[in-house]
Amino acid sequence: MTVLSAFSQEELRALALAFPDSASVRGLLGSVGYPLEHLPVWNATSAAEVWYEIAERLALGVIPNGRARVLAAAAARFPGVSVFGEQVVLRLAPSWDVLQAARPLPEHYVPRVADLDALHATLSSHGAGHVGVIGMGGAGKSTLARAAVHDDVLRARFADGVVWVDVGPDADTAEVQARVLRAFGDLRPVLAVADGRERLRDLLAGAYCLVVLDDVWEAAVVDAFPRVAGVRYLITARTHHVLPTGAERLRVGRVDAKIARELLAAYARWPAEGLPSRAETVLSYCDGLALALAIAGGLISEHWGWDEIADRFSEADLDALRARFPDYPNGSLLVVLGTTIDILPTATASRFHELAVFRGRGRVSSAVLTELWAETAGLGRAQTLQALRDLANVSLISLDLLTDTVSVHGLVIDYARARLGSSRFAELHGLLAARLLRRWGSVDEGLPDLVKLVEPTEVDRYTLSALVDHLLAAGDPDTVDRLLGAEQPSAARHKENIWHAMHEDWASIESYLATVRAAWRDAQEQAQAGDRAMFAREATYALLVGSMTSRAGNVPASLLVRLAEAALWSATRVISYAQANRWPDTRASALARLAPHVPAEQRPQIFQRAVAALEAIDEPDLRADVLAGLASVLPADDLERVATRTLVDMTTMSPAHRAAVLASLAPFLRPDTLDETLRQLLGEVTALETPESRAVALADLASLFPADERGHLLDQALDDLAAMNAPGPRAEALTELGPLLPPDLVNEALDILLALDSPFDRALPLAELAPYAVGDQLARLLAQVLDDIPDLDSESIRLDILTKVAPRLPDTLARPILEQVLAELAASPWMADTLFADLAPQLPEDLVPKAFNVAEFIDAPEVRAQALAALAPYLPDNLILDALDTATKIDEPDDRAVALEGLAPHLPADALDWAADAALTIDSATDVLLTWTALAAYLPDGYAGDLIDLASVSDLSEHGLADALAGAVPHLPEQLLGEVVDAALNIDEPYPRARLLTLVLPDLDSGSHDEILEQILEDAHGGDLRPDQVAEIMTIVAPCLPSDEQQPILAQTLSDVLRIGSASRRASALAMLIPSLHEENDLSIAREALSHIITAPDSITRLDPKALKVLAPFLRAEAPEYAMTRALEAAIDTDWEEGRAYALASLAPCLPDHLVTRASDAASAITSPEARAIALAGVAPHLPPDQRHTVLTRALQAGSTVSRSSVIQVITSVLGGNRVAAEPDGHAAVAALLRVQEWWP
């Protein structure tokens, strides 16, 4: 069990040292309001144990904001202990005032004192986690929760904010999480519930906040919110089954007689003490149900008399009502609602019934209802508002005049839904969906009016979030798919998905994902009902979600700034992309630099999010570097606060490391804080034992002292310099020392270095000192460096030194050196790792193109990216687009982002879309090639030529290229086989060349057949191939040989195979060979040898995946069950999850049915989503038909949370297995993949 603690281990140690006895602990805790009667008994063996117990009680909420209050009091007593320093909140605090205004108490609110007191006591008590308000529909649970939101004591307790989410039935759990995260400042979309749960845990750690989840129907929603110290989740629900075991709960039932009278009187606008006698009849029919009392009172307030209402209730036939509404949970409310609807004018009652289409949508803008009723009844705006007032007056709906929204209680909606009937209910959804769609134009014409929208209305925003749900409820998934697939030409080099682009522009990616998941759930339900064609739909939705996962946060900060400056992307869109970046340092930089480009009223919030991201950087040195880079952008108060916090986080670092970080933080610290820290740290640095660490640290600290106080520090640093034994630390020390040294000390440093015997020890430190030497000093230094260069063995060090000294040489010497450096880099580009950053600023204009040519051909993508970024400021206009083109061809997204970050500030405006497109690119040419070849059987006509073109530009190894093309060969048109032959003949290695040629051999014309056969035989017998490789080739080639040659070659091949040492390779070679053997004796020998392998104890556990694939038919038919069971157990026992996944996927085709089910269970238990997707996809095709769909869906869901390539891996596994999807469905799935790749390449 996880133990809650208010303090980190470091803080606990510091508290135990500072407050080590009962008296000091009582004094500290008493000063912050800790109830001393709750102090642990002081009988522990150490102060640390007492503080551990106190930390747990603080985490459970014994006092509000206990952690911050105790640390602040400790800091006041021990200001020199930085661990007790200021604690910075890393989140936004959702406003109590805003929520109270948005969720006012009902106009006729009557407090339920006992229930309120019980809820107040529960929420005020020590503890964390979930609190349930449970009761029948209409009992007043939500009103009680609203009352809690208006409780000033709870407001003080939960000082870090309050959030309210209307959940409702069929809620999208990830979207509910996203709404809470957004309220606390995390705008990134939630791509998976597990991810959202961990982000909530991190974001809310240390917070004291209240999260209200109203009208929860599924336990999965509650489970998605983790228990965090200080955080309370207030859950309203009809059943306690949605709550986790042990959660506190308050049952809310019917109100007592006194409150019932007060409620009825309040809604009837009648004095409670003066209710007439017939009110007793009304009260009896309402049966203490708060909602029924509100509706009945509303009828009276609308001038129906007590006698009339009492008579109507008495005349109601409850048995008939129950027969008509068999699933309705409350008879009393049936009477009240039935009577109310019967009393209303027919037109008003019809409008009420139509509100059923908004079930589960929470508060809806009145403008949306205007659209609905205009479609169903021709009502205008004024008539709509009057109808809403009529319904509100009888409490059937709630009108919020502040937000112009309408809400309807769930039980009232359920009644309206039941009155409509299923057919009319679906028809209404279709009518509303059609009207909303018409506002945007035809789906098939690309929603032209939606695309032109500049500022969306409330109806547009509602349509964007709810249209898919209405279409699905109308039974129209085909229009949903057309909507999700609507596209338009893009300014970039591909088509744009309109539905996604509009959500992106309006900062509602979480809503986009919710619509995709809703469509996916619909497809799952249809598949479970037996519709196998749903595989293509499910695959499409998985690809959409997987694409969002792969794209998240890939646009570098400098490019986002340029896109905002050029008004190519909206402020909302760039902020959304900045916030989506998974790395907090990049996120902080992007948000801070984008703040000036958003409206002024939004900037404080953007800065706050930037600072929150900055604070989320774990490494203090990285945080300090990012902070220094944002000094000109962030507000001064934020700079100081983050710098001070970073000081606190540095306490566990070595003194030398702290000195380096302090040099970066110094400009942002208060003078007194800096001085105190500096003096304390200086003592620690001077006590360091090694000259290497001491010299660099002294140099870092010396830069922070006034010039007249540095002398003794610099002297000590130079003494350490002389005592060092290695050139690396000596050079590092001079990098820091050089700018601080006055001329006489430069001379001293020079003398120290010139006295060294070895050129290797001397040259690099001299190069670091070069920028600070002048006159004779410089002449001596350069002469020695140039003299040492030829004696250095390391090419990379030699080039590094030449690059560093070139700026100090006369032009006549510098230019040849720079040309030499470029020439050597061109010959050995691997040495360019760190050189370009120093080299680029020195290059004359005419050498920059040569440097770019070198950078262009660097093999390592990471080094190529760094080189392009370093050269970017110096590239002429005619090369900047070439550099961008080179950057776009870097496959790894992180490396590509480095290049684009450097290039973006220098790109012309008309190239920014191209750069953004490159930043968001998911698949490289190699990725596309591997996908298309794996799915070649399902590719549309015309793609085969593109496949061959991709092969020519891929960076696959020769083995990989042969494997890829081998999968495509059976599906290529005959006219392309010659190109495959050419590709094969360009392969240098014999085995992949021969293997690929064997596959095209049977289809070659007689003119080239013999020549290619000769090449294959030469490769097989003269290319140093392994016997199993020869067997594979000869098995395929044998039928192409003259009949009199086949038998001797196959016999010889069998003889060679039997001598293979590896059982795995021998078994797979035998399995490939057996179908080609026709001689009875050879066939018998081969079968017996194979049987011996697969029946030997534990032999199957040692077979590799390739062997298992080949052996699957033999193992299913012949392997004993105990052997397969042991193989499966060995796979399940594999600790490494990815290895376990591949083992299960490889074994699945070989297993009997009952063991496949066990393999499926093991695959489902894998925690890594990527590995789980691999395992489930491998197992699914081999399960019994009634189990396949569920497992396949789990595989797609797991893959979609990882990346698009993970989804593609699932699809290829399924289509390759050919047991889940029919051929037309496979073609549809691949067609969807091709479209998705076009939208997001």
Helix (H) or strand (E) holding 250: strand 248-251
Report pLDDT digits (tens) over 146-197: 999 998 888 888 888 899 999 988 888 999 999 999 888 787 788 888 888 8
Cα end-to-end span (Å), the chain: 45
Within 8 A by CB and 6+ apart from 1172, the residues are 1141, 1163, 1164, 1166, 1194, 1195, 1198
Torsion region of 37: left, alpha or beta (phi above 0 gives left; psi -120 to 50 gives alpha): alpha
d(CA 908, CA 894): 23
Contact 293, 263 (CB under 8 A): yes
User: What tokens does 701 get?
Assistant: 């600290």
Asked whether the predicted pLDDT for residue 1048 surpasses 80, the reply is yes
* Average pLDDT for 598-611: 80
β-bridge partners, 400 = 405
**Angle (CA) 115 119 123, round 5°:** 175
The whole-chain average pLDDT of the chain stands at 83
d(CA 509, CA 575): 12
User: Residue 904 and residue 887: Cα distance in Å, rounded?
Assistant: 11
Lookup: tokens for 634:
């962030």
Spatial separation of the C-alpha atoms in residues 877 and 711, rounded to whole Å = 48
Q: Following CA atoms 952, 955, 958, 964 in sequence, which dihedral angle do they give, to the nearest 10 degrees?
A: -70
Q: Do the Cβ atoms of 300 and 334 come closer than 8 Å?
A: no
User: 80 versus 579: which is more confidently predicted?
Assistant: 579
**Tokens encoding 848:** 């920059």
CB 289 within 8 A of CB 330: yes
Is residue 1233 within 8 A of residue 1208, CB to CB? The reply is yes
Predicted local confidence at residue 636, as pLDDT: 82
pLDDT interval class at 81 (50, 70, 90): low
Asked whether the beta carbons of 717 and 733 are under 8 A apart, the reply is yes
Q: What average pLDDT score do residues 328-332 get?
A: 75
Residue 466 has pLDDT above 90, yes or no: yes
Q: What is the pLDDT of residues 392-444, one digit of tens each?
A: 888 888 888 878 899 898 888 888 888 888 899 999 999 999 999 999 998 98
pLDDT of residue 88: 40
Higher pLDDT, 430 or 451: 430
The residue type of 896 is: R
Grouping H, G, I as helix, E, B as strand and the rest as coil, residue 652 is coil
Cα of 291 vs its chain's centroid, Å: 42
Percent of the chain with pLDDT over 70: 94
Closest by CA position to 1206, among listed 492, 191, 134, 95: 191
Q: How many CB atoms lie within 10 A of CB 202?
A: 14
Region 1076-1103: mean pLDDT is 77
**Number of CB atoms found within 10 A of residue 1157's CB:** 17
Residue 871 has φ and ψ, to the nearest 5°, of -80, -20
Q: Return the amino acid letter for 994.
A: A
Rounded distance, CA 1007 to CA 1010, Å? Answer: 7
Residue position matching structure tokens 């209307």 = 166
Largest interatomic CA distance in the chain: 115
Where are the chain's structural domains?
Answer: 9-84, 96-253, 707-793, 810-919
Check residue 775 and give its pLDDT.
Answer: 86
Give tens-digit pLDDT for 974-994: 778 888 888 888 888 888 888
How many C-beta atoms surround the C-beta of residue 1184 within 10 A? 10
Kindly state the helix (H) or strand (E) to which residue 536 belongs, with its residue range.
helix 534-551
Does residue 326 have a pLDDT over 80? no
Provide the token pair at 556: 């570098």
pLDDT band at 635 (very low <50, low <70, confident <90, very high): confident
Q: Give 1's pLDDT tier (boundaries 50, 70, 90).
A: very low
Q: Does the pLDDT at position 491 exceed 80?
A: no
Is the per-residue pLDDT at 587 higher than 50?
yes
Give the pLDDT score at 216: 92
Give 276's contacts (C-beta < 8 A, 6+ positions apart).
306
Query: What local confidence, expressed as pLDDT, does residue 1098 receive?
Result: 64
Q: Which tokens sit at 166?
A: 């209307």
For residue 1103, pLDDT over 70 is answered with no
d(C-alpha 268, C-alpha 293), whole Å: 9
**What are the C-alpha distances in Å from 652 to residues 9, 432, 658, 1190?**
11, 62, 9, 49
User: Range with the lowest mean pLDDT among 58-62, 356-360, 809-813, 817-821?
Assistant: 58-62
857 to each of 131, 846, 889, how far by Cα in Å? Answer: 62, 19, 12
Confidence of residue 608 (pLDDT cuts 50, 70, 90): confident
Q: What is the phi/psi pair of residue 927, to 5°?
A: -60, -45
Q: Is the pLDDT of residue 132 over 80?
A: yes
pLDDT for the residue numbered 86: 44
Mean predicted confidence (pLDDT) in 775-799 = 85
* Distance, C-alpha 262 to centroid of its chain: 51
Residue 1166 · residue 1140 · CB < 8 Å? yes
The pLDDT tens digits of the residues spanning 1140-1186 come to 888 888 888 888 888 889 999 999 999 888 899 999 998 988 888 88
**Residue 624 to residue 627: CA distance in whole angstroms:** 5
Euclidean distance between CA atoms 807 and 815, whole angstroms: 10
Q: Residue 356 is encoded by which pair of tokens?
A: 């059923």
Count of CB atoms within 10 A of residue 1096's CB? Answer: 12
Checking if the pLDDT of 33 tops 50, the result is yes
Q: Is the pLDDT of residue 462 over 90?
A: yes
Tens of pLDDT along 704-742? 888 777 888 888 888 887 888 777 777 777 777 777 778
89 has pLDDT over 50: no
Q: What is the DSSP letter of 940?
A: P
Strand, helix or coil for residue 226: coil
The CATH superfamily label for domain 96-253 reads P-loop containing nucleotide triphosphate hydrolases (3.40.50.300)
Question: Which own/partner pairs from 1184-1193 qualify as long-range (CB within 8 Å, at least 24 positions apart)?
Answer: 1184/1153, 1184/1157, 1187/1157, 1187/1160, 1188/1219, 1188/1220, 1189/524, 1189/527, 1189/528, 1189/534, 1189/1220, 1190/528, 1191/1160, 1191/1163, 1191/1164, 1192/535, 1192/538, 1192/1220, 1193/524, 1193/527, 1193/538
SS3 251: strand
